Amino acid sequence: MTIRYPNGKLYTPNTSVQKTERKSKSKDLSFSNRGKTLEDEINEANDYYIKRRLAIIHKKPVPVQIVKVEYPSRSAAVIREAYFRTPSTTDYNGVWNGHYIDFDAKETASKTSFPLKNIHEHQMTHMQQVTEQNGVAFIIVRFSAFERYFIVPYEVLQKAWQAMENGNRKSIPFSTIEEEAYEIPTSYYPRIDYLPIIQQLIDAQCYGFESEEK
């Protein structure tokens, strides 16, 4: 099936990263996490939160315009070509403890940095608008080589994005992620319980202090 962006550009998944991540996952000693993507893990956490009435956070549906369908049989239809109707903003949004939460999920196989090419300009604009309305905007990044997860605040992304536009590096060093982002410890269920880490982020933004657990 062919899917295109609103500007007509062909959408192609990053297969090289997926292949690398499959190799790293095969070495993962955690049986419960085998084969799961970051999206699976976030969805699992969101289901956990909803069932326990802790938060209401969902993955956003992406509107797609279907332009070519084939019917190999009377009872089957195969979509051959489609377009995203509008540029995507972020993957997830919802409400938790009176806060509007809006974030994207990113995975990288890099051991040294997070490539900014994984983020689009319209996503940065969207997160800026969320922040201006006192919402909480960030991305959750999984470094698959280490099986480590981080909440990277919009402010950290914005600083790196501005530097890139000024001709500097096009990625955020892993050392900067460790220093300025918030690591999500893994557990059994849900594997990534990210709400307590969002609270650390909110405390830092509202009260100007960093939690010792960061």
Considering only residues 18 and 202, tell me which one the structure prediction assigns the higher pLDDT: 202
Q: What is the CATH number of the domain that holds 156?
A: 3.40.1350.10
**What average pLDDT does the segment 15-28 reach?**
44
Q: How far apart are CA 202 and CA 37, in angstroms?
A: 26
pLDDT of residue 89: 81
The residue segments making up the domain with residue 193 are 29-61+86-207
The pLDDT tens digits for 166-197 are: 999 999 999 999 999 999 999 999 999 999 99
Residue 201 lies in a domain: yes
What is the DSSP secondary-structure string of 88-157? ---SEEEEETTEEEEEEEEEE--SSEEEGGGS-HHHHHHHHHHHHTT-EEEEEEEETTTTEEEEEEHHHH
* pLDDT tops 90 at residue 62: no
End-to-end CA separation in angstroms for the chain? 43
pLDDT for 104-132, tens place per residue? 999 999 999 999 999 999 999 999 999 99
pTM value > 0.95? no
For the chain, the domain total comes to 1
Q: Considering the domain boundaries, does residue 153 fall inside one?
A: yes
Domain assignment of residue 36, yes or no: yes
Classify residue 21: in a domain, yes or no: no
In a domain, 12, yes or no: no
In a domain, 18, yes or no: no
Residue 45 lies in a domain: yes
Whether 20 is covered by a domain: the verdict is no
